[in-house]
Amino acid sequence: MNLPLINDALAMLRLQFQPLAHYQYPTRHLAMALLLLGVVAAASAPAGMGEPLNVILFFTVYVTLETLLYGRFMQWWLRRASVADVPSLTGTIVAASAIQLLDPLSSWLPDDVASVASMTIGMIGLWLLVSALSFGSGLTKLRILLGTLMFAPVALFLSFVLMNGATGLGLVTMPEELQRALQQAEQQADAKPADDSAQVQ
């Protein structure tokens, strides 16, 4: 099968990068790749989030929106660094993220090893993305990584908004770990004004 997206993803694993204009693919290929990434993300989700199709829909929407927003943000970031004629970065992001499709294989390993393997796959994907954007733009990897870190709060906010919306519609159930984290954050936020008032008195 001679699909440019697959060929470019494999080339990235061999550390062979191209100009950013090279990573432009048909919309249907990008849509299929984003769907596969959404399915993989759903497979790694905590148990008990809801019906499998709903969970797949949730993660596919999240992966797609995060990819599009990150692409737009990094276009702006590259233009701020005086990079001329920045094309769409969606294809570059998807090609670099294709390694995430290997993540389900980590489930065959013992739990402690699987978590390390999954984290390693994620780090490799990030490094490939930073390297591809650095090569294509001519900027340093550090500058690309800085832009990626600046986008992280946007991705976190997006996940929070989508999770609230999906739970409100009854599509998915918020994971218990996230519920406890939010409850602790709310308790800390409520306790801080009380402490401030006590100090004033």
pLDDT tens, residue by residue, 32-42: 999 999 998 88
- Give the list of residues 6+ apart from residue 85 with CB closer than 8 angstroms, or none: 21
Confidence (pLDDT) at 196? 54
What is the pTM for the complete model shown? 0.82
Cα gap 68→63, rounded to integer Å: 9
Residue 45 DSSP one-character state: S
Report CA-CA distances (Å) from 79 to 17, 29, 97, 137: 20, 27, 23, 10
First-last CA distance in the chain? 73
Q: Is residue 40 a contact partner of residue 103, using CB atoms and an 8 Å limit?
A: yes
Instruction: Mark the ranges of the chain whose per-residue pLDDT is less than 70.
Output: 1-2, 175-201
Q: Is residue 170 a contact partner of residue 57, using CB atoms and an 8 Å limit?
A: no
pLDDT tens per residue, range 78-112: 998 888 888 999 999 999 999 988 887 777 777 77
